[in-house]
Amino acid sequence: MILLARLCDLFLSFARIGLAAFGGGYAMIPLMRAEFIIARQWLTLEEFLDIIAIAEMTPGPVAINSATYIGYKVAGIPGAAAATLGVIAPSVVLILIIAGLFQHFRTSPLVRAVISGIRPAVIGLIFSAVLVLGRPVLVDFRAFSISFAAFLLLITGKLRPLPVIGLAALLGLLLY
């Protein structure tokens, strides 16, 4: 009975996050932090940062990878399934509805105005995630240097994310 309640909590928590987080996985990070560290205290900040790092390194969307890992930590394999289904269910339902309506309303000034308002808010959510995750990680010059170098390599297109992560791991071995 307790497991069933925990599974429902996981599903509903991730469904709320999935429904509210326009902009994808990175926009969900501040919401997941508020839900699972502050409100429910299922994770510590350090565990959460590790989850985000692992989710970023593994193939697939960061939101789904994070949900699967958090669900597993909280309630094992059934928790991983509940959290993963919870985070994708709102998107599946919304995209089916939007796909049906978008062709009809895509030229509407109202729809364009709504989308124009949502885009900057998504950037704000992503920037919030950067600040929340960066504060406990960028604690010294070495960490800041690795982060800044990774940023430059990624925005200039010099390297793809996986080699940048590998290079950062190598730098971590050398510098720490």
Mapping DSSP onto H, E and C, the string for 3-38 reads: HHHHHHHHHHHHHHHHHHCCCCHHHHHHHHHHHHHH
Whether residues 71 and 44 fall in one domain: yes
**What is the distance between the alpha carbons of residues 66 and 52, in angstroms, rounded to a whole number?**
6
Tell me, what's the pLDDT at 164? 93
Same domain, 92 and 126: yes
Please report the pLDDT score of residue 22 as a whole number: 67
pTM over 0.85: no
- Residue 104: other Cβ atoms inside 10 A: 9
- List of the chain residues with pLDDT < 70: 22-23
Same domain, 97 and 68: yes
Whole domain around residue 157: which residue ranges?
138-176
How many domains does the structure of the chain reveal?
A: 2
Residues 85 and 159 in one domain: no
Q: Are residues 143 and 109 in the same domain?
A: no
Sequence-ordered list of residues with C-beta below 8 angstroms from that of 128, at least 6 positions apart, any chain: 29, 30
Q: Convert the pLDDT of each residue in 116-160 to its tens digit.
A: 998 898 888 888 888 888 888 888 999 999 999 999 999 998 888
Query: Do 22 and 104 have their domain in common?
Result: yes
In this structure, the answer to whether residues 107 and 156 fall within a common structural domain is no
